């Protein structure tokens, strides 16, 4: 069963359309996240053991306001909401190709803020990489490092459905993010607050089934308005920028 649709999106498996989907702990290290012994207590992007791209990620987000799952100036006039699956290769394409230009052109100048909504939809066939990535990223948000964590993850993404998002990988990602505390991340990932965020994301997906058909799914919001569905799948950057520019007028 493939999670890839022909229109450039990671699609919900047929049995799980419109629902949060996780079938258990037969792949990787199971749903409970643990940090590998010997992992530094605090992450550092310039460490010799830091993962690929860690320094570039630190530079990209340096000095930009980050609170929870939101990146950018709180009063930015436009917001982009992104529903992403952390093991989705098309989300990886969007995040590693288009996020940096958006951050440099719109987020850093204060024109746009981005809200990340980690969604778990690709854990079919016994895997749990999506769920583990979702939990770890939400936990990183409690330290205001969700975007750093997710970007380092996408820079080092493994093959979908292979159990690559194991404890060792999550430990390495966390240790590659400046000032992120890996052991706190694990505790928070397995905690009640993370479950509440997952429940909220799942509720949105279930109540918007015609829009939430795969990842990445994007919404745009002007001011305090309601989210307007932009599309599902990897967008054309020029077209997305045009939509942002229209809302900035």
The answer to whether position 214 is within a domain reads yes
CATH code at 242? 3.40.30.10
Q: What angle do CA 201, 35, 165 make, to 5 degrees?
A: 55
DSSP per-residue letters across 63-91: T--EETTEES-TT-SEEEEEEE-TT-HHH
The answer to whether position 36 is within a domain reads yes
The answer to whether position 11 is within a domain reads no
Q: Which domain holds residue 194?
A: 19-248
The answer to whether position 179 is within a domain reads yes
The answer to whether position 59 is within a domain reads yes
- Please give the pLDDT value at position 29: 87
The answer to whether position 73 is within a domain reads yes
Summarize pLDDT for 204-236 with one digit per residue, the tens: 999 999 999 999 999 999 999 999 999 999 999
The answer to whether position 4 is within a domain reads no
At residue 81, what are phi and psi to the nearest 5 degrees? -105, 125
Summarize pLDDT for 35-59 with one digit per residue, the tens: 999 999 999 999 999 999 999 999 9
Global pTM reads 0.91
Number of compact structural domains in the chain:
1
Summarize pLDDT for 57-105 with one digit per residue, the tens: 999 999 999 999 999 999 999 999 999 999 999 999 999 999 999 999 9
The answer to whether position 243 is within a domain reads yes
Q: 3-class SS at 70?
A: strand
pLDDT band at 10 (very low <50, low <70, confident <90, very high): confident
Q: What is the DSSP letter of 157?
A: -
Sheet of 214-215, strand order:
4-5, 9-11, 214-215
């Amino acid at each position: 069963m493939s999670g890839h649709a022909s229109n450039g999106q990671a699609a919900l498996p047929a049995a799980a359309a419109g629902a949060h989907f996780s079938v258990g702990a037969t792949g990787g290290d199971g749903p409970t996240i643990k940090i590998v012994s010997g992992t530094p207590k605090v992450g550092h992007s310039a460490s010799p053991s830091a993962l690929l791209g860690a320094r570039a990620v630190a530079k990209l987000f340096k000095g930009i306001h980050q609170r929870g799952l939101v990146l950018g100036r709180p009063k930015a006039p436009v917001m982009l909401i992104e529903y992403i699956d952390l093991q989705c290769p098309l989300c990886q394409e969007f995040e590693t190709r288009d996020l940096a230009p958006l951050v440099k052109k719109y987020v850093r100048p204060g024109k746009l803020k981005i809200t990340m909504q980690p969604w778990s939809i690709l854990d079919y066939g016994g895997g749990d990489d999506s769920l583990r990535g979702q939990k770890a990223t939400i936990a990183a948000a409690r330290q205001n490092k969700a975007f750093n964590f997710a970007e380092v993850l996408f820079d080092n993404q493994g093959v979908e459905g292979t159990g690559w998002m194991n404890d060792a990988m999550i430990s390495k990602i966390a240790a590659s993010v400046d000032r992120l505390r890996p052991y706190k991340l694990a505790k928070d990932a397995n905690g009640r607050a993370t479950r509440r965020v997952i429940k909220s994301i799942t509720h949105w997906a279930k109540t918007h089934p015609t829009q939430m058909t795969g990842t990445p799914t994007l919404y745009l919001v002007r001011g305090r308005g309601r989210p307007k569905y932009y599309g599902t799948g990897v967008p054309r950057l020029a077209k997305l920028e045009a939509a942002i520019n229209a809302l900035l007028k």
